[in-house]
Structure 1
Amino acid sequence: MFQKYFSDEPRPLLSDWTVDLLNSRSELAAWVDGFGSPLHVVYPDQATENYLQWLNELRTVYGDCQVQFALKACKSASLLRAFALVGAGADVSSAHEMASAFMNLVPAERMSMTGPAKSDYELNLCILHKVAIHIDCIEELNRVLALADGVGGISRLFLRARPITEPGSRFGMTEDQLMACLMLLENTKVDRVGVSFHLNDYQVHTRADQLRFCIAFLRRVCAKCLTPGGIDIGGGYPMRYVQRFDPVAYGQGVHWGNVAKPGNYPYVPELTGAQHAAAVIQTALADPGDRDFLYGHQLPILLQPGRSLLDQCGVSAFHVTDVKDLGDRRFGVVLDGMSFSLSETWFGADFVPSPVVVWREEREVPRYDATYFLVGRSCLESDIIRRRGLTIKGGIARGDLVVFANTAGYQMDSNESSFHQIPSPKKIAAVRRRCGWKILADETLNKQGLPRNDRQ
Structure 2
Amino acid sequence: MENSLPKLEPITSEWMFKIITDFKLQEALFETYNSPINIHSLSSFVDNIKEYQDILGTYKFKSRIFFARKANKFQNLIQAAVENGIGVDTASLQEMQQCLDLNVDPAKLISTAAIKNNQLLKVAIKNQVLLVIDNQDELDQVAKISERLNIQAHIGIRISGFMYEGKKLMSRFGFDIDQVHDLMVSYFNKDNKHLFKVDGFHFHLDGYSTAQRGEALHQTLDLIEALQATFPLSFIDIGGGILMNYLKHQNEWNAFKHELKEAVLENRDALTYNNDGLGYINRNGVIEGNLATYPYYNENSKASFLKEILDVTNAESRTVYQRLETLSIELRLEPGRSLLNQVGITSARVAHRKIDARGNHLIGLEMNMSQLKSSSADFLLDPFATFKNPDSDATPVSVYFTGAYCLERDVLLKRKIKLSQLPEIGDTITFVNTAGYMMHFFETEAHLFEQAKNLSISESKERYLPEDFKGE
TM-score above 0.5: yes
Mapping 1:184-195, distance limit 5 Å: 184-187=187-190, 188-189=193-194, 190-195=196-201
Q: Structure 1 residues 69, 248: closer, same or farther in 2, change over 3 A?
A: same
> Aligned to 1:257, which of 263, 274, 295?
274
**1:454 matched to which residue of 2?**
none
Q: Structure 1 residues 366, 379: closer, same or farther in 2, change over 3 A?
A: farther
Q: Is residue 163–residue 210 contact of structure 1 (8 Å, CA) maintained in 2?
A: no
- What's the offset of the Cα at 1:296? 5.5
Q: Structure 1 residues 98, 351: closer, same or farther in 2, change over 3 A?
A: same
- Cα distance in 1 for partners of 2:410, 2:430 equals 18
- What's the offset of the Cα at 1:297? 5.3
Q: Is residue 310–residue 321 contact of structure 2 (8 Å, CA) maintained in 1?
A: no
- Cα distance in 2 for partners of 1:197, 1:412 equals 26
**2:466 matched to which residue of 1?**
441
Q: Is residue 109–residue 130 contact of structure 1 (8 Å, CA) maintained in 2?
A: yes
- Cα distance in 1 for partners of 2:425, 2:343 equals 28
**1:3 matched to which residue of 2?**
none
Q: Structure 1 residues 395, 220: closer, same or farther in 2, change over 3 A?
A: same
Q: What TM-score, normalized to structure 2? A: 0.86
> Aligned to 1:370, which of 394, 397, 400?
397
Point out where structure 1 has 5 or more consecutive residues left out of the alignment: 1-5, 452-456
Q: Structure 1 residues 309, 123: closer, same or farther in 2, change over 3 A?
A: same
**1:171 matched to which residue of 2?**
173
SS at match of 1:127: helix
SS at match of 2:218: helix
- Cα distance in 1 for partners of 2:31, 2:81 equals 30
> Aligned to 1:398, which of 409, 425, 431?
425
Q: Which moved more, 1:171-180 or 1:412-421?
A: 171-180
Letter in 1 for 2:30: V
**2:119 matched to which residue of 1?**
121
Q: Once the two structures are aligned, what percentage of the paired residues are identical? A: 23
Q: Is residue 38–residue 337 contact of structure 1 (8 Å, CA) maintained in 2?
A: yes
Q: Structure 1 residues 402, 154: closer, same or farther in 2, change over 3 A?
A: same
Letter in 1 for 2:449: I
**2:242 matched to which residue of 1?**
237
Mapping 1:198-347, distance limit 5 Å: 198-223=204-229, 225-243=230-248, 244=250, 245-246=253-254, 247-251=257-261, 252=263, 253-261=270-278, 263-283=292-312, 294-295=324-325, 298-326=328-356, 329-344=359-374, 346-347=375-376
- What's the offset of the Cα at 1:363? 6.7
Is 1:359 aligned with 2:379? no
Letter in 2 for 1:80: I
Q: Is residue 68–residue 90 contact of structure 1 (8 Å, CA) maintained in 2?
A: yes
Q: Which moved more, 1:270-279 or 1:141-150?
A: 270-279
Q: Is residue 320–residue 399 contact of structure 1 (8 Å, CA) maintained in 2?
A: yes
- What's the offset of the Cα at 1:222? 1.1
- Cα distance in 2 for partners of 1:22, 1:144 equals 50
Q: Structure 1 residues 293, 256: closer, same or farther in 2, change over 3 A?
A: closer
When the two chains are superposed, the root-mean-square deviation of aligned CA atoms in Å is 2.5
- Cα distance in 1 for partners of 2:311, 2:319 equals 13
Q: Is residue 193–residue 228 contact of structure 1 (8 Å, CA) maintained in 2?
A: yes
- What's the offset of the Cα at 1:105? 4.7
Q: Structure 1 residues 222, 193: closer, same or farther in 2, change over 3 A?
A: same
- What's the offset of the Cα at 1:407? 0.2
Letter in 2 for 1:132: L
**2:412 matched to which residue of 1?**
385
Q: Structure 1 residues 126, 221: closer, same or farther in 2, change over 3 A?
A: farther
**1:32 matched to which residue of 2?**
30
- Cα distance in 2 for partners of 1:238, 1:122 equals 31
- Cα distance in 2 for partners of 1:129, 1:401 equals 45
Q: Which moved more, 1:46-55 or 1:289-298?
A: 289-298
- What's the offset of the Cα at 1:103? 3.5
Point out where structure 2 has 5 or more consecutive residues left out of the alignment: 264-269, 279-290
- Cα distance in 2 for partners of 1:120, 1:229 equals 27
Q: Structure 1 residues 203, 297: closer, same or farther in 2, change over 3 A?
A: closer
- What's the offset of the Cα at 1:396? 2.3
Q: Structure 1 residues 423, 37: closer, same or farther in 2, change over 3 A?
A: same
SS at match of 1:272: coil
SS at match of 2:416: strand
Q: Is residue 86–residue 108 contact of structure 2 (8 Å, CA) maintained in 1?
A: yes
Q: Is residue 61–residue 329 contact of structure 2 (8 Å, CA) maintained in 1?
A: no
- Cα distance in 2 for partners of 1:117, 1:378 equals 29
Q: Is residue 43–residue 79 contact of structure 1 (8 Å, CA) maintained in 2?
A: no
- Cα distance in 2 for partners of 1:284, 1:438 equals 50
Q: Which moved more, 1:254-263 or 1:289-298?
A: 289-298
- What's the offset of the Cα at 1:357? 0.5
